[in-house]
Amino acid sequence: MLSLLSSGALALWLDAMGLMPPESQVSVPLFDAPGLVLEVEADEEAESLVERYLTDLERQGISRQRQGIWLQVGAEKLASHQGTIPRSAASVTKTATTLVALQTWDWQRRWLTEISATGSLVDGVLQGDLVISGGGDRLWVWEDAIAVAVVLQELGIEAVAGDLILENQPGLNFEQDADEVGEGLIESFDARRWTPPVERAYGRLAARTPRPQLEIRGEIRVLGEGSADISEDSLAQPLTEPPSRRIPLLRQQSLPLLSLLKIMNVYSNNVIADGLAEELGGGAVVARRAAHLAGVPEVEIQLVNGSGLGQENRISPRAAVALLSGIHRRLAAGGLTLADVLPVFGQDGGTMEERGMPKGATVKTGTLWNVSALVGAVPTGDRGLVWFALLNGGDAYTLPFRRQQDQFLQDLQGQWGRTIQPRSLTTSYPHPSFGNRDRIEVIADPDFAPNQLAGPYPPTEPP
């Protein structure tokens, strides 16, 4: 008996069969429309794989009732074990954040960090404060801070007589604590203070990048967002009034959204995920929107944040596959693939280091102390792309779960054959590097900085 279940995956089947119409020819964008899963006769091979997987876990004393599984090819459900029951999904939550971010913002969206001064430049010394204004860049790292210092020195600034002012809580290396950010910037600006981590970051920059020696002589001050969190024993101190004079110097763009999402998912970075989700309206808003985009009941996606930290983040196995389907369709509409935002085994490291999956599997991992999750797609010779969700729970069984998950994917590919990596799981987007000088725009007035470089750097990154 043929039945239809809402799950956001009909477009996978249409795409595989060559029946996907151009987006301009449909009244409702396909990435907004709920898809369908065709539930036909039971697939004995798939069900046998699932049963063997559950039996192997039971032999280790792990209850099958705490496991959720979903297997799908195109629009056809192959097998399920408690597939519609939401359960703790750990960092699989990041797939919901990814889908909603892709639907909300342009893929090339960038966040700006602005650098300004409060005084004049005299004999290489800034007679005032240096202000770093955060604009939501959650991936500002050592390399970017070093690049800023290099350009500031090229403007003629050798030292800052005043304070380092942090405005609107800029982050550095995924830290937002004012002491950590302020001291990190002071250190990265001056090569004489570099520690081994900063030296390693410098080594990843373009060859012949100058080693800046920009000295900050004043204190760390915090203005605006973040100032209320300053503790009494903090080195940083709140600044109650904004500077009366401000001279713009530089504007640094973040990496594009697509690069942020790729890095977030490869390394399962919680700071990026939670920051994006907060900007999108919070975990509950992301959950509702993700359920709509994936075409699943809202009850199957329950989130309190965008990262997956906490047992309260719950997703059903069916919804996990539907989220991947939604990402796939959203990216395919722009000529990109799932591999442009998710890690590919054998190509990307991150959370897949020391795993034993089939080469080419495109996945998202998730781990809490008693939860191990793995969702993604595996290319096979007989069935094409097999989409799967393994949401495992137990009592501190994460290591055995990982071994069993990897073996399951190996068995799955062994059952239906290996194949070359399909285009739909091939990375096509060239991600720019950290500390790229082309992302820094000089906006200083020539009267302030006679050594000013000749205008903004021409963009060399893809449009």
- Quick: pLDDT tens for 61-103: 899 999 999 999 988 999 999 999 999 999 999 999 999 999 9
Question: Residue 404 has what pLDDT?
Answer: 93
Beta bridge partners of 389: 70, 375
Which pLDDT belongs to residue 428?
81
User: In the prediction, which pLDDT does 6 show?
Assistant: 41
The pLDDT value given to residue 160:
97
Rounded-to-integer distance, Cα 40 and Cα 406, Å: 28
Q: What is the 3-state secondary structure (H, E, C) of the chain?
A: CCEEEECCCHHHHHHHCCCCCCHHHCCCCCCCCCCEEEECCCCHHHHHHHHHHHHHHHHCCCCHHHEEEEEEECCEEEEEECCCCCEECHHHHHHHHHHHHHHHCCCCCCCEEEEEECCEEECCEEECCEEEECCCCCCCCHHHHHHHHHHHHHCCCCEECCCEEEECCCCECCECCHHHHHHHHHHHHEHHHCCHHHHHHHHCCCCCCCCCECEECCCEEEECCCHHHCCCCCCCEECCCCCCCCEEEEEEECCCHHHHHHHHHHHCCHHHHHHHHHHHCCHHHHHHHHHHHHCCCHHHEECCCCCCCCCCCEECHHHHHHHHHHHHHHHHCCCCCHHHCCCEECCECHHHCCCCCCCCCEEEEEEECCEEEEEEEEEECCCEEEEEEEEEECCCCHHHHHHHHHHHHHHHHHHHCCCCCCHHHCCCCCCCCCCCHHHEEECCCCCCCCCCCCCCCCCCCCC
Structural tokens at position 247: 């001279």
pLDDT at 454: 41
Give me the pLDDT at residue 234, please.
82
Q: How far apart are CA 280 and CA 228, in angstroms?
A: 23
Given a cut of 70, the residues of the chain with pLDDT beneath it are 1-41, 226-228, 396-397, 451-463
Identify the pLDDT of residue 226. Answer: 67
Domains of the chain (ranges plus CATH)? Answer: 3-108+258-425 (3.40.710.10), 112-254+435-442 (3.50.80.20)
Q: How far apart are CA 267 and CA 408, in angstroms?
A: 23
